[in-house]
Amino acid sequence: MYRAPVEEISFTLKHVAGLKAGLDEGAFGELSEDLVDAILEEAGRFATDEVAPLRKVGDEKGAVLKDAAVTTPPGWKELYRRWIDGGWNALQGPEEYGGQALPAMLGVAALEMWNSGSMAFAIGPTLTMGAVEAMEKHATEDLKKKYLEKLVSGEWMGTMNLTEPQAGSDLAALRARAERAGDGTYRIFGQKIFITYGEHDFTDNIVHMVLARLPDAPVGTRGISLFLVPKFFVNDDGSLGGRNDVFCSGLEEKLGIHGSPTCTMIYGDGFVKGSEAGAVGWLIGEENKGLACMFTMMNNARLAVGMQGVAVAEAAFQKALAYANDRRQGKASTYQGEGMAPIVHHPDVQRNLLTMKALTQIARAISYSCAYATDKARASDGDDRQHWQDRANLLTPIAKAFSTDVGVDVASLGLQIHGGMGFIEETGAAALYRDARIAPIYEGTNGIQAIDLVVRKLPQGGGEHVFGYISELAEIVSELRTSNLHGFGQTANAIDNALDDLSDATRHLQKLAGEGRVDEALAGATPYLRLFALASGGAYLARGALAEENEARQSLCRFFAENLLGETRALKDRVVGGAASLSAAAKSLISA
């Protein structure tokens, strides 16, 4: 059973991602190390004692739709109630509306633990946070007053309604329509699919954020507006009024995260008998500027999905480690006890476990560093603010894509360590493998993340921002060289080489961009993102190993550097030289 790794998380936040330095320089106001630890301890306790025990029933029973109402798995409604009663939904919410306005670093750390407990449970509140953020930045005061306090506390939940059958990665293809009602409100019509927690029994009301087009809107992404569409209308005194014309017409039968209802939502189809058809919506932000509003919350949602990758990897590692210490098969030279050796003594099993552990720590370090940049941007102004915002923008697609790939790979290795038992559902290793698989897809596929990194993030600061980041990482290697710590073997050389690979690949992509050779850059985007993550990850592991003289940390860093970092050269070669053969070979793929 999962136990929240509070110490490891606290260490990574403080000594790898930068929280300690931030606290020391007073960037986070009243926040102290002790308070950070107290919050992590409590969040971890909730994840371990409350969320994790309800994972299995969520997977087995799933969410159920009947007569347009969704019932969540047994015990989940009560779990959600305890969760909001603990104030957890309000962790990052604005103080003005009852939130605790804590740094994003604490938010993602807590999110990791809840997701380790159950991805299907923790994904719901993530959407509420997105709605809060969009409203805080773009909604009218009236709407904020009516909705924000209850969304911040979690008394109501929020959703994000983007996808339609013909419009997934390409939002320009959206068709849902909005009509001006003449009284300042709008009527929304259309179908949305893949709406996470679009309908459920956790809360009395659900507040949908819906993208739709006005009749006179320009084509493409510049003609999309964002609307707030509540399930129940809200009276001026805050009480609930009548039912709005929005309903859930179906739930998807999915590979994993069965407890999370994935809804098809129908707007304006005359669901409410006796009233005029059309879901009533209120505009958020300006007409035709909906995508910009959506993008404000997208970056954080992407980091939140990245945390799901870290979370499932951590859960899979813990489960596999426990099994490997328990299960006995064969003999091993390092085992002197009675009978068969615990399989953790077999070098091949050790290699798998260390790979899982290193990848999990790296994904965590990158993701927390991304959150740190967000926090620093909020706490700074002027050039500093821009610098940290650029940093957060740079790391977001990497945190999302690399961490979720790690989630899948680590869950798969964890299943493998269980042998035949891993394929049996009862063990729970297979459930992690199933759950993990959605994270590389939603909130922008990992292919889209890689394209975002290459096309939009590398040019930041005239193309110089990324090199500043690489230089910072190179300084860690210098520290490592001068540390005189034993036991690092070839670690410094390996990280240096990886950072050189990253620089070379970055320069090549910037050169392609400069020459307008976009397709070649796109062909190398995914290998480039992985190269970026591995090289950064090596440096982060070294930073952690330098901060604490601890053999386990140093030897894991060395294992990673000497066993897994060698991949960066092949990745660099692919970025630089792989595109030439791709376009020719791809011809055979295209149907006439």
Measured from the CB atom, the residue of 35 and 321 that comes closer to a second copy is 321
Q: Which helix (H) or strand (E) holds 383?
A: helix 382-417
Closest approach, Cβ 28 to a second copy, in A, equals: 32
Among residues 144 and 530, whose Cβ is nearest to a second copy?
A: 530
Paired tokens of 182? 């003449």
Q: Please state the closest distance from residue 446 (CB atom) to a second copy, in A.
A: 7
Measured from the CB atom, the residue of 178 and 413 that comes closer to a second copy is 413
Backbone phi and psi for residue 165, each to the nearest 5 degrees, phi listed first: -50, -40
Write the DSSP symbol of residue 218: P
* Residue 360 one-letter amino acid: T
263 strand-pairing partners: 195, 251
The least CB distance from residue 125 to a second copy, in Å, is 20
Q: Is 443 a catalytic residue?
A: yes
Q: Which amino acid is at 419?
A: G
Instruction: Considering the complex, state which of residue 170 and residue 464 has its C-beta at the smaller distance from a second copy.
Output: 170
Instruction: State how far the Cα of 106 lies from the Cα of 556, in Å rounded to an integer.
Output: 25
Radius of gyration for the alpha carbons in the chain, expressed in angstroms and rounded? 24
CB of 570 to a second copy, least distance (A): 3
In the 8-state DSSP scheme, what is residue 267? Answer: E
- Do residues 437 and 443 touch, judged by C-beta distance below 8 A? no
Q: Which of 443, 464, 472, 562 is catalytic?
A: 443
User: What are the start-end ranges of the H helices in 47-102?
Assistant: 55-61, 76-85
296: its two tokens: 């404000």
Opening angle at CA 508, ends 504 and 510, nearest 5: 120
**Cα–Cα nearest to 49, from 86, 16, 18:** 86
Q: Which is nearer to a second copy, 154 or 444 (CB)?
A: 444
Minimum distance from residue 199 beta carbon to a second copy (Å):
18
Contact 544, 500 (CB under 8 A): no
Using the structure block, give the residue that is written with the tokens 């799933």.
62
The owner of tokens 């859930």 is 248
Q: Give the SS3 label for residue 96.
A: helix
Cβ closer to a second copy: 149 or 435? 435
- C-alpha 186: how far from chain center: 32
Q: Closer to a second copy by CB, 30 or 585: give it.
A: 585
Tokens of 543: 């930073």
CB of 183 to a second copy, least distance (A): 36
Least Å from the CB of residue 95 to a second copy: 36
Integer Cα distance of 539 and 503 in angstroms = 14
Using an 8 Å Cβ cutoff, are 178 and 282 in contact? no
Cα gap 348→328, rounded to integer Å: 14
DSSP 8-class letter at 230: E
Listed residue (490, 505, 479, 474) closest to 569, CA to CA: 505
Residue written as token pair 């490891």: 8
Q: Considering beta carbons, is residue 83 or 559 the nearer one to a second copy?
A: 559
Smallest separation (angstroms) from a second copy to the CB of 231: 23
Write the single-letter amino acid at 408: V
The residue among 135 and 539 lying less far from a second copy, judged by its C-beta, is 539
Closest approach, Cβ 442 to a second copy, in A, equals 7
What one-character-per-residue DSSP string does 69-83 give? EEEPPTTHHHHHHHH
Which residue has tokens 């003999």?
A: 331
The kind and range of the H/E element at 36 are helix 33-46
Strand, helix or coil at 86?
coil
Nearest approach in angstroms of CB 337 to a second copy is 11
Burial class (CB in 10 A: 0-12, 13-18, 19+), 91: buried
- Looking at the Cβ atoms of 243 and 328, the one nearer to a second copy is 328
Pairing of strands 177-180, 186-196: antiparallel
User: What is the closest distance, in whole angstroms, from the C-beta atom of residue 165 to a second copy in the complex?
Assistant: 10
Residue among 565, 474, 568 nearest 527 (CA): 568
Is the Cβ of residue 210 or residue 498 nearer to a second copy in the bound state?
Answer: 498
Alpha helix positions (H), 86-239 = 104-117, 119-138, 141-153
Residues with catalytic roles: 443
